[in-house]
Structure 1
Amino acid sequence: MKRMFAIPSAILVAAATLWVAPATAAPPPGTQLSGAIFTTDASGVPVNLNIYDAKEDVYLNGGPGINAPDDAAGLPAGTYSFQVTDPSGKVLLSSDAVACRQFTVNDSGVIQDTSPSGACAHATGLDGEDGGATVQLFPYADTPNNGGVYKVWVTPTEKLDCNGNGNKNCFVPRYSKTDNFKVRSDMIVEIDVRFWKNGVAMDGYAATWVDTNGAHNIKYSEWNPAVLAFHEAHFEATEEGTHSIHVASQPGCSITAVAAPDGSAARVRGGTAMVPVTVADHTEGDHTYWVDVACK
């Protein structure tokens, strides 16, 4: 049920599986941090559906984003902290001190090292694609979530605020990027965003996901059958509750219409659109929530 190419009537274009590269893609407006984070293995290789065999296998990666255009921005240079929680952010699963969960980002926007953490720093690997470091998330406890979902948070260390409004263990959602993953749980629940132009599915285009806590991340549409990516920007293991997807016109894609998962048309204003997506409990079974964007 996952890989269907029919486009809702709100988009009014034919399905296709061709590829068109964007001229120069830009992230949608309104994001507080440029770049993206994502979970991988130690080598930086994307893991199918963000589902891992063991908690020790999950590593953090960062930068412009997987399959982002060459000119896409990475994370701003600086020092960052991370945590692993349940999807709500209320249950801290990371079991060591936040001082041990730090890394630096260099001027190219990728993770450089874990030197700010000193002797208790997490293990690292090397991303063979961008030359940056990957950071092991372990140690952390098992998630209490009945769908087996974990959430990793990243925020600039200087933005940690234990008194901040709505903070999650001192991580303030509006300053944070998040990504979800699962361990030994094969239920597929995801939000996928596709960009269409003249009936052609386009790769390298940015969509922003705002999770149920108000934290965000950016992914790019891609063609990568090895990880079941067929011209979509993937947001994997999205937790139960209401999320939102934000899209904006980018070079090569002036947005004309956006279809929500229920087939209704989202309002497009000034080349931008926001689509609310309500995700069901994972115990209800596999589900892909499609957001389709028509471009001219």
Structure 2
Amino acid sequence: MSRTPLVAAALVSMAALLVTSQPSSAAPDPAPVSGAIFTSDSSGEPVNLNHYASKRDVYLNGGPGINAPDDAAGLPDGTYYFQVTDPSGRTLLSTDPIECRQFTVVGGVIQDATGPCPHVTGEDGEDGGATVQLFPYDDTPNNGGVYKVWVTPIGSYDCTAQGNKHCFVPRQSKTDNFKVLEDATVEIDARFWKNGVAQLGMAAYWTDTNGASNVKYSEYAPELLAFREAHIEAVEPGTHVVTVGDQDGCTISKVRGARGENVRPGRDGLYRVAVDVAVWRAGADVTYRVEVTCR
């Protein structure tokens, strides 16, 4: 979305006219690993469009994030590895050994960084768990300042698997993108409409260009430039897939893709929308929209 003051003010005014709906239960999660991750600062507070002033400011949060329904799952309990790469996953940017990049999840909440050389942690003010600093990692080679954080269960860490990214298997991993020292917005926004009102707490599942996944929820947070859409932020060029399905408060009647095409459901009832993200042009703000009509 545009971040100019005029447009932002207009969006705030439009959003104020909408009636806030209650969060609803998510659609069935199509990903092999359930739950979600996102980045934040050390306090666990989401950061505007995943843009950070310094690499040291970026912390991992276990999700599922603000405006998620009460029954939305965090990561399954267990121990996980994490890494930071460029958006393609080809370049490993994390500089310390994998044993240093561990954390544990209990009750869907990150409890602590673990291993022989654990990362710095903060306290998540939202769920009382921990946030985990991603630093140290190298500068991204990406022109748009984009980084990708990966999380995988330690049992899924496999250096022999076909298509692995530094031993992280995409289908068994959660990812999220963020930017450092670059303000341009390139994002996918999924909006859910019911009787002309944009709905909160609706789940949109994102599969990135590597085949890794995450889940975002539609939210209203004007300070984060979120106006009742599910933000998928700092997306890299290539084909992404946004998957939506029926969930409490939204029986889908129509899905329109980013090119304006109507999308049909698969045999499992889920709508998979291919979103082709163009190569980023310096200084350009770009939003790709997926529009969902509910009944």
- Classify the TM-score, shorter chain: over 0.9
1:60-102 per-residue CA deviation (whole Å, 9 max, x = no partner) reads 0013333211111111000000000001111000000000000
Match of 1:208 in 2: 205
Where does 1:146-161 land on structure 2 (aligned, <5 Å)? 146-161=143-158
Match of 2:100 in 1: 100
Match of 2:187 in 1: 190
Match of 1:13 in 2: none
1:161-203 per-residue CA deviation (whole Å, 9 max, x = no partner) reads 0010100000000000000000000110000000010111000
Match of 1:40 in 2: 40
Match of 1:170 in 2: 167
Alpha-carbon distance, 1:262 to partner: 1.3
1:24-54 per-residue CA deviation (whole Å, 9 max, x = no partner) reads 4124331112211000000001000100000
Is 1:255–1:271's contact at 8 Å kept on the other side of the alignment? Answer: no
Q: Distance in 2 between matches of 1:54 and 1:17?
A: 36
Moved more, 57-66 or 33-42: 57-66
| Matched residue SS, 1:152 | strand
Is 1:161–1:170's contact at 8 Å kept on the other side of the alignment? Answer: yes
| Matched residue SS, 1:185 | coil
**Residue 65 (structure 2) pairs with residue 65 (structure 1):** yes
Match for residue 277 of structure 1 among 275, 278, 292: 275
Is 1:174–1:216's contact at 8 Å kept on the other side of the alignment? Answer: yes
1:217-267 per-residue CA deviation (whole Å, 9 max, x = no partner) reads 001000000100100100100001110100010011111110111111111
Q: Distance in 1 between matches of 2:136 and 2:29?
A: 35
Q: Which amino acid aligns with 1:160?
A: Y
1:2-31 per-residue CA deviation (whole Å, 9 max, x = no partner) reads 36999xxxxxxxxx6332124x41243311
| Matched residue SS, 1:56 | helix
Is 1:42–1:127's contact at 8 Å kept on the other side of the alignment? Answer: yes
RMSD of aligned residue pairs (Cα, Å): 1.7
% identical equivalent positions: 62
Change (3 A) 1:150 1:121: same
Match of 2:122 in 1: 125
**Could you tell me the TM-score, scaled by structure 1's length?**
0.92
Q: Which amino acid aligns with 1:238?
A: V
Q: Which amino acid aligns with 1:73?
A: A
Is 2:29–2:205's contact at 8 Å kept on the other side of the alignment? Answer: no
Match for residue 254 of structure 2 among 243, 254, 257: 257
| Matched residue SS, 2:99 | helix
Is 1:28–1:207's contact at 8 Å kept on the other side of the alignment? Answer: no
**Residue 287 (structure 2) pairs with residue 288 (structure 1):** yes
Aligned length: 284
Q: Distance in 2 between matches of 1:85 and 1:26?
A: 29
Gaps of 5+ in 1: 7-15
Is 2:188–2:231's contact at 8 Å kept on the other side of the alignment? Answer: yes
**Residue 89 (structure 2) pairs with residue 89 (structure 1):** yes
